[in-house]
């Protein structure tokens, strides 16, 4: 059964350990749309919900905003690079990779590791389904409305769940998902159908 809320921010913090100074991976076609520079990971929470200090909002600054660069924005091999982590994402899975609908977990794995790598999407052959930590890192909790993501860097994102590669330890028939309508980290059985966005690079 789905719908368990997990606060993903502790998972997101771990991405801060990735080396930003070395610079992100680069795509073959370098026509770009750029958003800011190389910054520390942040949830983009911009509203304070309590009178006490300690929320992410209290630490917000221009040095901690989300930052993405889109390469080859026009065409069927567009990729979005997270300038903080170096992770490279398929920009729009539907229009760029032909992932028109939802898939079960096994199919989601195959779509990234076989389909994308078979076509050498973006000039790379090491695409994979992101783990729960990686997928949570692109949730934008400061977005005014769903989907909770930078829709310029990730156009076409659906306000629904996307599969992560991470299996639920206590129940191997289930895997984690990230819900971009609310930003929740959830899980469901692997036979259910959700959306797919592939990634490469990172740790």
Task: Report the alpha-carbon distance of residue 198 to residue 203 in Å, rounded.
Answer: 15
Q: What's the pTM?
A: 0.74
How would DSSP label each residue in 35-71? -S-S--------S--SSSS-SGGGG--GGGS--EEEE
Would you write out the chain's pLDDT as a tens digit for each of its 203 residues?
Answer: 565 555 544 444 333 333 333 344 444 333 333 333 333 445 556 677 777 756 666 655 544 578 899 998 766 789 999 988 899 999 999 998 899 999 999 999 999 999 999 999 999 999 999 999 999 999 998 888 999 999 999 999 999 999 999 999 999 999 999 999 999 999 999 999 999 999 999 64
pLDDT of residue 136: 94
Closest CA to 16 of 69, 85, 80: 85
């Amino acid at each position: 059964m789905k719908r368990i809320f997990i606060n993903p921010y502790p998972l997101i913090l771990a991405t801060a350990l990735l080396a930003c100074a070395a610079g992100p991976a680069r795509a073959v076609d370098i026509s770009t749309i750029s958003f800011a520079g190389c910054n520390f990971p942040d949830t983009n929470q911009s509203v304070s919900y309590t009178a006490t200090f300690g929320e992410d909002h209290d630490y917000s600054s221009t040095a901690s905003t989300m930052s993405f660069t889109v390469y080859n924005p026009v065409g069927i091999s567009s990729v979005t690079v997270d300038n903080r982590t170096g992770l490279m994402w398929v920009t729009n899975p539907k229009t760029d990779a032909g992932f028109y609908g939802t898939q079960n977990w096994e199919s989601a794995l195959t779509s990234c590791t076989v389909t994308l790598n078979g076509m050498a999407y973006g000039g790379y052959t090491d695409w994979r389904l992101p783990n729960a930590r990686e997928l949570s890192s692109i949730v934008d909790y400061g977005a005014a409305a769903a989907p909770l993501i930078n829709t310029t860097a990730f156009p076409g994102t659906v306000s629904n769940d996307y599969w992560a590669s991470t299996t639920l330890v206590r129940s191997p028939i289930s895997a984690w998902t990230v819900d971009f309508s609310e930003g929740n980290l959830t899980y469901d059985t692997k036979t259910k159908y959700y959306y797919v966005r592939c990634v490469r690079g990172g740790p």
